Each structure stands twice: as structure tokens, then as C-alpha cells.
A and B are shown apart, each in its own frame.
Chain A
């Protein structure tokens, strides 16, 4: 089975959030970057499917040069090769624009299965996989925790709300958006890291993919969130804040 996994490099979870001078994005200068979490689960599922059924795992990522480190990480974990769509204007494209870029790179590869993470940890649109299925004319399912290959195609376990699940059968080729938590993530081994250096990373330019940048939806400005409640911040040493909290819970909130 030939599996393509679309991954995104995002700011590391504890990266500082400072709004830049343009007011539309954060300052990227001192940020550490990481593989988007649900994409890591998509990669894990792809690697497990390959181990069971053999085949090839290709990672695909759009982003500036720095995305190369996340691509190498995926190769070190066991992906066979990678496609890097070199693109410095990712932020100017809306979800459809980014999906068009990815779809243009995927089409000539003709994969049996295309996996994406459910949602990016930075923009959080949660749409890439579903739009890719539409653009590529493939069936899809989202919020998937497990994938099983059957004679007819796939049986996948989909998460519903409030602790419910559902199995879905679908033919391949197909697109799945993977939810996090379905399996345990592997670490790259030293051997894997060594091997990754010699694996193929093909770079495509956004221009040669000829995907239009025009957006119908624009992020106008960003802001720090407003407080919904008047939060009382208790300060002091650990002991002092603990005592103050218990006092408040007892006499102000009257719940202890």
C-alpha cells in the first residue's frame, strides 16, 4: 500500500505568543518548531500499516525551509521519502488554497491512502483532509482512531462526540483525517536518524504546482483573548496561595 501522510510544522506547544507588528500573526523569531500533534499520529498509523501490509510511506509538507527539520524527523521515524513544497506564503493562503497546493503534489503520486492529522495546533482549521478528498475526488472519513485494511478496502474507527464511536467501511483510494491518541507514538532511533540523512526529499516550488493563492476568507487581525469572568489571581508563596484559595472556597464561593 502506498500511503502519503501530510504533515505540518507548527510552533512548539509552549512557544511564546507575541503578536507581530502587522497584527496578523505572531513573532516567529524565537520560536521552536515541532511536528503537529495529530499529524504525528497520522504518521504513526501509516508506519504501522506499512509494517503490516508492506508498501511505502511518503511524507508531504508545505512550508518554508525550516519545515525541513520536521520532514527529517518523519523520515527518521521510518517514512521512506518526502516531498517538500517550498512555500513562504503559507499564511496568505486559506484552507482551500493550502489544500490545492497539496493536491497538486499528491495527484501524480496516485497513493492508495492519504492521511492527515485532524487539526493543526496553530491555526486549528481542521479542514485539510476533508478538502483534499473533495479536490481529489476520493471518499473520506475524519476523526479516525484506527485503520484496518480489508479485502474490499478499509474499516476505520471514527470518534463521535461524548465517548461514542462508529466503524465505517470505505473503498481505497481514500483520505482519512486522524484523531490523536489512537496508538502510541514511536521515537526516532539513532539508526533511524542516521538513515534519514540519505533518504530522498524532493522539493517542489509552490509556483510550479500552479495553485492559485487567491483567498475568499482572510484573517484580518489577531488579539489576545478577553477574560470572560473576573478571575481573581492569588499570589504569594505556594503555602500562602493555597491558604488564600481554601479561604476563598470556604467563605466566598461557599463550596468547601
Chain B
């Protein structure tokens, strides 16, 4: 009988939030297809995390345990999970779409002759799996065919961690065979890039700027709006990649996650990597010249127009309102 396997990721000895979201997705897919869901937790010490998972509605929890899984390496994780998937033969394997998963799940799928459907934002009848294309300007519906498991990674924020259903599950131990010589990369300890002096996470007002600003010389346009609002200045990735603003002002999956009262997105198209960083915003205002820009899908208020005309006008209006 087929089943669904969800691979749980730990971060700093805890189950990551996005793993709970992947578990919620797996339970929802299980309900749709009437299939049992099992969770696998790879690592060197998984006992307490497995116990936490055992309190959820799962057919079982599998501790995939080996000393060589203590630090993440693509070789170790690919090998361990390949062995587990061959033993369990699930119909579906779900992952959280984290940087770690992006680093090994495509290789794991390929090793089994399969292709990962990555970055999934929704599950439809069939099942079909939706994900974004063209930087969020399109949605695509994907379907898996043929024999062998279907590999899925679930985008952050697409499913709700608090939708995970409670229950009780048995815990099983799976010990993969891994030799030290198989692991070809040597990972170092994680470190912070630079002293984080800008805490965007606690800012109440944020003015954020994207490619639409065209050049560093145009930044005063948004700086003046930020000053008028008493807001922190932030940016999407390309602005920091170009060195127009420091990396510590970057919002999105590779930068900071923010939850301000007001987030003003200026000239930001709204690729998913950016949108996952602003989900907690109370009110989003988007200014963009492209009416089809995906940022408008998540905005409360949108202005379609030339930011070089619109933003100075807003700055003036804010100043007048505050007088």
C-alpha cells in the first residue's frame, strides 16, 4: 500500500517552522488521497524531536539516525534518505523547501530516476501541484506520472503550521549504512555575515525598494519617503546584489523577515523569495509600473504608475498629513 513520507528538518536542535508546514501539507494530501502519512527525522540525535512528532496524527515517525548525519552534508543526507525511500517505498515524499532541501533533494530524486517538483504553493485535485514561474508572474500546475515516488518540496508560508493535526504515532528507528569516505564535502560552522546593525524585524514602518529604482543615484526618492514616514529603508535582493544598499537591509528568504504595521514596496515586482519575507506585514502598499506585477496580489493598496512621480507625491502628502 502506498503512503506519504514527509522529511522533517531540524534547525538548532528544533523542528523548523517550515517543516511543520510541510507536515500540514502532507496531512492534507493524505486526507485527499486517503493515504497514511509518516514523518522521517534525519540526524545524529533525534530522540526528543521524534517524541514531539509522535504527538501528531501520523502513521509512524522514523528516526533516521547516524553519527555522520550530525552536520548536514548533501552526500550523507542523500544516501540516508535514498536507503529509507527504497525501504519504505512511499508514493509521495514531501520536504520543506529550505536551502538545505534545495541542496540535496534534486539529487535524491535523480538517484531514484525522479524529478523533484520544488517550491510548491498549493495542492489541487489529481493531485496537481502548483508552483510559480517567471518570478511569480505565472502559476504552473504540475503532475507526476509513471512509477516511483513523487518528490515535492513545499514553499514557506503556503501551508499553516498550526493546521497540523494532533494524534499519536509509533516511533521506529532506521539506521542507514553510511561510510565516512562517502562524504566528500566538509561543512564549517555557520556564521553571521556582518554585525547586524539594522533590525528590520522589529521595525513598524518599512519603505522597501526594488529594481524599479534603476540606479543607486535615485535612492534619495525612497529615502525621503522613509524619512517622512519615520520608516526603515529596506530592499529586495537585486538592490543589495548590486551594492546599492548593504546586504543587512535585504528582506526575503535570504535576508530578514519583517512584520511591520506598514510595508511600502517601491518598484518591487514581488518574486516569491521576497514575498515570504513580508508575510507578517499588517498593511502592504505596492507602487509599480507593471499592473501584472505579483506584488499587487499581496498588496492592500496598489498604485500602478511611475515611481519617480508617485513616490515624491506620497512623500509630500505624508508630510502634509503629519503637520
Interface residues of A (CB under 8 A from B): 11, 13-14, 17, 19, 26, 94-96, 99, 121-127, 130-131, 133-135, 139-143, 159-171, 179-181, 184, 215-229, 231-235, 238-239, 241-243, 245-246, 248-250, 253, 255-256
A-B pairs with beta carbons under 8 A, tally: 257
B-side contacts of A250, CB under 8 Å: 321
Closest to A240 in B: B313
| Interface positions of B from 135 to 149, Cβ below 8 Å from A | 135-146, 148
- Out of A124, A142, A249, name the residue touching B132 (CB < 8 Å): A124
Which 8 A/B pairs are nearest by Cβ-Cβ distance?
Answer: A181-B241, A242-B313, A139-B184, A127-B106, A134-B107, A167-B188, A238-B309, A238-B313
Q: Does B111 have its Cβ within 8 Å of any Cβ on chain A?
A: yes
- Out of B139, B186, B243, B310, name the residue touching A241 (CB < 8 Å): B310
Binds A, one of B25-33, B43-51, B52-60, B300-308: B300-308
Q: Is the interface of A mostly helix, strand, loop or mixed?
A: mixed
A-side contacts of B261, CB under 8 Å: 255
For A17, A134, A216, which residue has the most chain B Cβ atoms within 10 angstroms? A216
| Interface positions of B from 179 to 193, Cβ below 8 Å from A | 184-193
A-side contacts of B317, CB under 8 Å: 239, 242-243, 245-246
B-side contacts of A168, CB under 8 Å: 185-188
Given contacts A14-B290, A160-B190, list 16 more A-B pairs with CB under 8 A. Answer: A13-B135, A122-B134, A124-B131, A131-B106, A142-B102, A161-B98, A168-B185, A180-B237, A217-B114, A222-B138, A224-B292, A228-B297, A233-B296, A233-B304, A253-B300, A255-B283
For A164, A179, A225, A255, which residue has the most chain B Cβ atoms within 10 angstroms? A225
B-side contacts of A180, CB under 8 Å: 237-238, 241
The answer to whether A124 and B313 touch (CB under 8 A), given A159-B99, A235-B304, is no
Q: Does B171 have its Cβ within 8 Å of any Cβ on chain A?
A: no
When chains A and B are docked, how far (Å) is the Cα of A120 from the Cα of B255?
20
A-side contacts of B300, CB under 8 Å: 229, 231-232, 253
Assess the A127–B118 pair: CB atoms within 8 A.
Answer: yes
A-side contacts of B185, CB under 8 Å: 139-141, 168-170
Q: List 29 A-B contacts (CB under 8 A).
A: A26-B138, A122-B133, A127-B115, A130-B102, A130-B103, A159-B99, A160-B190, A163-B196, A163-B255, A163-B256, A165-B192, A170-B185, A170-B186, A180-B241, A217-B143, A218-B142, A218-B144, A219-B142, A224-B139, A231-B297, A231-B299, A232-B300, A238-B310, A239-B313, A241-B313, A245-B301, A245-B314, A246-B317, A253-B300
